[in-house]
Amino acid sequence: MPIVPKDVIFLPESTAEYPDRWVALNVFSRTALGISSEVFRLLGAAETSEDGPYRCWKIEYFSNEAGLLADPSRFRRDLRQWQELSLNRQELLAELKKRCIVVDDEAAYRKRFQPKRHILDYQNFGNFHQQHGQYMALTRREDAAGWWMRQKFSPDQLSVRRDTLYGAIQNAFLEEYTEQRITKGMSVVDLGCGTGVYSNLMAGRGANVLGVDPSDEYLAVARAHAREGARFEQMQIGQAGGLDNIPTGSADIVFMSDALLFYYVPFFPGQTADIGVLLSDIRRILKPDGAFLSLEPHGVFYLMPWLGAEDRPFVVVTEYLRKSFGIVPPLSWLIRTVTQAGFAVSDMRELTPAGYFAEIDPRGYHFASEFPLWHLLEFRPFH
Give a three-class secondary structure readout of 286-346: EEEEEEEEEEEECCCCCCCCCEEECCEEECCCCCCCCCCCCCCCCHHHHHHHHHHCCEEEE
Residues 118-130 pLDDT 10s: 999 999 999 999 9
Q: What is the pLDDT of residue 246?
A: 98
Q: With 90 as the cut, is the pLDDT of residue 31 above it?
A: yes
Give the whole-angstrom CA distance, residue 350 versus residue 196.
24
Contact assessment for residue 65 and residue 26, using Cβ atoms and an 8 Å cutoff? no
- What does the DSSP 8-state code read for residue 49? -
Q: With 80 as the cut, is the pLDDT of residue 286 above it?
A: yes
How sure is the predictor about 269, in pLDDT bands with cuts at 50, 70 and 90? Answer: low
In order, the DSSP letters of 130-171 are HHHHHHIIIII---HHHHHHHHHB-TTSSSB-TTSHIIIIII
Give the whole-angstrom CA distance, residue 254 versus residue 118.
37
Residue 340 neighbours by CB under 8 Å, 6+ apart: none
How sure is the predictor about 48, in pLDDT bands with cuts at 50, 70 and 90? Answer: low
Residues 193-229 pLDDT 10s: 999 999 999 999 999 999 999 999 999 999 999 999 9
Q: What is the mean pLDDT of the chain?
A: 94
Q: With 70 as the cut, is the pLDDT of residue 34 above it?
A: yes
How sure is the predictor about 51, in pLDDT bands with cuts at 50, 70 and 90? Answer: confident
Q: Which domains does the chain have, with CATH numbers?
A: 8-106 (no CATH), 151-381 (3.40.50.150)
Rounded to an integer, the average pLDDT of 355-363 is: 98
Q: What is the pLDDT of residue 44?
A: 79
Q: What are phi and psi of 226, to 5 degrees?
A: -65, 130
Q: With 90 as the cut, is the pLDDT of residue 271 above it?
A: no
How sure is the predictor about 314, in pLDDT bands with cuts at 50, 70 and 90? Answer: very high
Residues 225-256 pLDDT 10s: 999 999 999 999 999 999 999 999 999 999 99
Q: With 70 as the cut, is the pLDDT of residue 377 above it?
A: yes
Coil vs helix vs strand at 65? helix
Give the whole-angstrom CA distance, residue 327 versus residue 264.
8
Give the whole-angstrom CA distance, residue 67 versus residue 170.
14
Contact assessment for residue 277 and residue 240, using Cβ atoms and an 8 Å cutoff? yes
Rounded to an integer, the average pLDDT of 15-21 is: 96
Contact assessment for residue 32 and residue 24, using Cβ atoms and an 8 Å cutoff? yes
Give the whole-angstrom CA distance, residue 57 versus residue 85.
5
Rounded to an integer, the average pLDDT of 339-359 is: 97
Give the whole-angstrom CA distance, residue 7 versus residue 295.
32
How sure is the predictor about 33, in pLDDT bands with cuts at 50, 70 and 90? Answer: very high
Neighbours of 58 (CB within 10 A): 17
Give the whole-angstrom CA distance, residue 163 versus residue 46.
49
DSSP H helices in the chain: 37-44, 89-98, 106-111, 128-135, 144-152, 165, 172-181, 197-204, 216-224, 275-285, 331-340, 362-370
Q: What is the pLDDT of residue 146?
A: 86
The model's pTM: 0.93
Q: What is the pLDDT of residue 274?
A: 84
How sure is the predictor about 145, in pLDDT bands with cuts at 50, 70 and 90? Answer: confident
CA dihedral angle for residue 284, residue 285, residue 291, residue 293, rounded to 10 degrees: -110
User: Judging by beta carbons within 10 Å of its beta carbon (0-12, 13-18, 19+), is residue 349 exposed, middle or buried?
Assistant: middle
Contact assessment for residue 22 and residue 36, using Cβ atoms and an 8 Å cutoff? yes
Orientation angle between helical segments 197-204 and 172-181, nearest 10 degrees: 40
Residue, of 41 and 92, whose pLDDT is higher: 92
Q: With 90 as the cut, is the pLDDT of residue 49 above it?
A: no
Give the whole-angstrom CA distance, residue 85 versus residue 82.
9
Asked, as a colleague might, if the bond just before 266 is cis with ω within 30 of 0, I would say: no
CA dihedral angle for residue 85, residue 91, residue 92, residue 95, rounded to 10 degrees: -90
